[in-house]
Amino acid sequence: RFNRLNRKSERGIRYLISHRFLEASPHAVARFLLSRKGLSRQMIGEYLGNLQDPFAMQVLHAYVNEFDFHDMPIDIALRKFQSGFRLPGEAQKIEQLMQMFGQRYCITNPSTSPSNIDTIFILAFAIIMLNTDLHSRNIKPEKKMRQEQFIKNLRAIDYGEDLDIDYLTGIYERIRAEEFRPDNDHVTQVAKFEQTLIGKKPSLVAPHRRLVCYCRLYEIYDLSKRERLTAHQREVFLFNDLLVITKISGKKRQQLQYQFRQAFRLSGMNLYLFETTHYQYGIRLVRKPDIHQTNLITFNARNEHDRTKFCEDLKEAIMEMDEMEGLRIQTELDKLRGSWSSLADSLNNNANGIISSLIDYPTNKRDRPLSRTLSNSLLDMTLTMPAPSLFNHQTTTNNTKELLPCRNSQCSVDSGMVSLMNEFSPTNGCNMPLTTTTK
């Protein structure tokens, strides 16, 4: 349920409040964004930067008030503030965030120079721009901002006075030494895993995807054929919405590399356990909506412990995705009903207008406006054209009682790839849960 926020931040907050998982107060939401594990830093930043939502702006105010920047240099305070979320890309949103930060910094440092809100805002915005300039891969080293340029750009920003050069120099050196980065989240782990994946692989990184567990299983091609129990070894990575099948490819720079083989969406998946003469700890994955239960893949685990733990996590993830898919479909249906309702209202209004115009149309030729030739006036010809075609259309519709044809609509199912979590180093053990994972 909390993962809904990682898909659509504003909609996710509304869902949590409407289902009473979260108190409908800016302070409660701010505390939730600060303390809840498993939330995407990117989606937190998107929510806090939502300038169109008055409630989100109240949450931002409450969020900023949770920080104490007393006796902190401005760049260190800004680093602390920005560690909980990823800054949005729009300059207008960054400006709003820096304004709120500047107000809080001045409140917690009333006697520190500079203490002017406008000065702090300009300086904070300049620090964000400096961080982007110094650490962007798209800017060549010779084009990056130099220290003297940074100081020059900030001349006379404090009521016409210059800030202390040593103060600005310290800011520049600290930013150059260490980039501003939000704290790690589940997306960080997914990104690290994706770097170890080779071959024709899908894109895995997305705010709503997290890594649940890892397990070593053995793929079965023919249940009737006996093979070595360790044949077709597969490293299986379970995400909250996806099952990724890989094979160890070797090492590169002392790091394991995984050859991508297959990926299966969890939505609509089912699993069966079986035992045969050749395979004692079998796992069969099928696609549920298929009448014939199409087989996706078949595995054998090393022991009962591995099979039990892996299947427990897999079942829970499947249930979560089926629930999410049901909610998504319901939301799409509600939108569709609203669209058709608006269309029906519009058609009714148009029909009423046509009927009114027909009623008001003068039947006596002497009362009608003079119809000019095309060369005299296109406008008058348009205004004075008789309306039998409209009348006939209305009559036909009433007589045959034909309904408006329905469009061929397609539900935009969000069934694409998504994203994951944190750093791991699989060993010989199977089904190693990730301690940072929250379900």
* Structure tokens that stand for 323 in this block: 């629930």
**pLDDT (0 to 100) of residue 326:** 77
Residue 402 lies in a domain: no
Query: How many Cα neighbours within 13 Å face the side chain of 278?
Result: 15
Range of the domain at 72: 2-177
Residue 396 lies in a domain: no
| CATH code of the domain containing 152 | 1.10.1000.11
142-158: pLDDT as tens digits: 999 999 999 999 999 98
The length of the chain, given as a count of residues: 439
Going 187 to 92 to 97 to 2, the CA torsion angle's sign is negative
| CATH code of the domain containing 429 | 2.30.29.30
Query: Long-range contacts made by residues 349-356, C-beta under 8 angstroms, separation at least 24?
Result: 351/394, 354/390, 354/394, 355/394
Residue 378 lies in a domain: no
**pLDDT (0 to 100) of residue 252:** 83
Q: What does the alpha-carbon distance between residue 432 and residue 145 come to, in Å, rounded to a whole number?
A: 46
CA distances for 52 relative to 147, 267, 291, angstroms: 37, 33, 46
Q: What is the share, in percent, of the chain residues with pLDDT greater than 70?
A: 76
Same domain for 223 and 130? Answer: no
Same domain for 237 and 309? Answer: yes
Same domain for 62 and 199? Answer: no
Same domain for 132 and 214? Answer: no
Q: What is the share, in percent, of the chain residues with pLDDT greater than 90?
A: 58
Least confident stretch, 100-109, 173-182, 337-346: 337-346
Same domain for 171 and 240? Answer: no
**pLDDT (0 to 100) of residue 362:** 54
Domain end position, chosen among 153, 177, 201: 177
Domain count for the chain: 2
Same domain for 200 and 155? Answer: no
Least confident stretch, 95-109, 161-175, 323-337, 383-397: 383-397
Same domain for 169 and 242? Answer: no
350-379: pLDDT as tens digits: 655 555 554 555 555 555 544 444 443 333
CA distances for 291 relative to 156, 287, 295, 408, angstroms: 74, 9, 11, 25
Residue 269 lies in a domain: yes
Same domain for 159 and 236? Answer: no
Domain end position, chosen among 120, 152, 177: 177
Same domain for 113 and 233? Answer: no
269-310: pLDDT as tens digits: 999 999 999 999 999 999 876 566 788 999 999 999 999 999
Same domain for 8 and 110? Answer: yes
Residue 301 lies in a domain: yes
Per-residue pLDDT for 54 more than 90?
yes
Same domain for 230 and 170? Answer: no
Residue 10 lies in a domain: yes
